[in-house]
Amino acid sequence: MKASWTKYTLNLKQPAGTSRGVLKQKDSYFIRLDGEGKTGLGECGLLRGLSADDRPDYEEQLDALCEDLALTEVPQDLLPKLEEWPSIQAGLEMALLDLEAEEPHVLFPSDFTDGYERQAINGLIWMGDLDFMLAQLEEKIAKGFLVIKMKIGAIAIEDELSILRKIRERFGPHELQLRVDANGAFDANNVQGILDTLYDLKIHSIEQPIKKGNWSSMAKLCQNHQMPIALDEELIGIFKREDKIKMLDTIKPRYIILKPSFLGGFKKSEEWIDLAEERGIGWWVTSALESNYGLSAIAQWNYNLYGHLASGLGTGSLYTNNFDSPLHLVRGTIAFDPKLEWDLSSLEF
């Protein structure tokens, strides 16, 4: 088997603000497999400053993987060896699935990929000044989103809470579900008042209110407050099954959020789902700012999971140079039109 990789830089239409800073570009790496007249493509959704495998020798690891793929007869055997390189592990798994697919880039055939079904997603409001965030809100509501997720923790919290109050004055929780994502922005000692207000506003959940790694403090928040807490970054960098169990049993969150690019791919994410469901913990799937290619693969996989909560799979429209694809948004949902063709010609291997 011949294997190669390439880097592709995605340019955001406008800077995307989080509590960790402002994102203007995002690098993705693609693995291509060629064997027996077929081609498989996978996206390694690395996110600088957040992925567990954001390391200086990342590209050297891709070189080594391509050399190993050229020598092995069973490429699936290489997946476990990539445990501490989760985005590369996810990209290789995706490429292998594509190589085996009957139709190019349809990794998980279903009513979704046949164009009959859509998936509910949340509309994402990025951080910025008050007017910018309100403008995003109006745009998402006009497009028919029934679930809104707002990034918080970068501007004054009172301004952010003011936006949420304005939304609730217009739409009750039965009309519009609101989620917030703090990306670890708050301090465990002063977050209680914020959680109280969010609970009073009937916010669905808050993602990662404090920084990852503070298991004891996070456990107290989860166990002593009515406000539902979802873990996101907390899952990153936990590779062993026993460590996953220990974390879930210690913190006991209401939800976990699954980003396959951060967790090692689809099978690894399914292990998290199984462990969560055994403990009565809810979950939903979110992209990690992948291109339309990775987003499509994740959406196809997510549809077959039959999760009932709206996913965070609507980020493909962020970029000026994304790939033309069968994906499109329809009234607050993501859909796949099999009549539309992929244009991946800008990928140069």
Q: Which residues belong to the active site?
A: 151, 259
As a whole number of angstroms, the distance between CA 324 and CA 317 comes to: 11
As a whole number of angstroms, the distance between CA 251 and CA 228 comes to: 12
Buried b (16+ CB within 10 A) or exposed e, 130-162: eeebbebbeebbeeebbbbbbbbbbbebeebbe
Pair 337, 326: CB distance under 8 Å: yes
As a whole number of angstroms, the distance between CA 324 and CA 321 comes to: 9
Task: State CA 6 to chain mean position distance.
Answer: 22
As a whole number of angstroms, the distance between CA 228 and CA 182 comes to: 13
Amino acid present at 161: L
Token pair for 34: 């060629």
Task: State CA 71 to chain mean position distance.
Answer: 33
Pairing of strands 123-125, 255-258: unpaired
Buried b (16+ CB within 10 A) or exposed e, 322-335: bbebbbebeebbbb
As a whole number of angstroms, the distance between CA 5 and CA 92 comes to: 11
Task: State the sign of the Cα–Cα–Cα–Cα dihedral 10, 15, 19, 21.
Answer: positive
Distance set, CA 59 to CA 83, 109, 241, 263, 303 (Å): 16, 32, 27, 19, 32
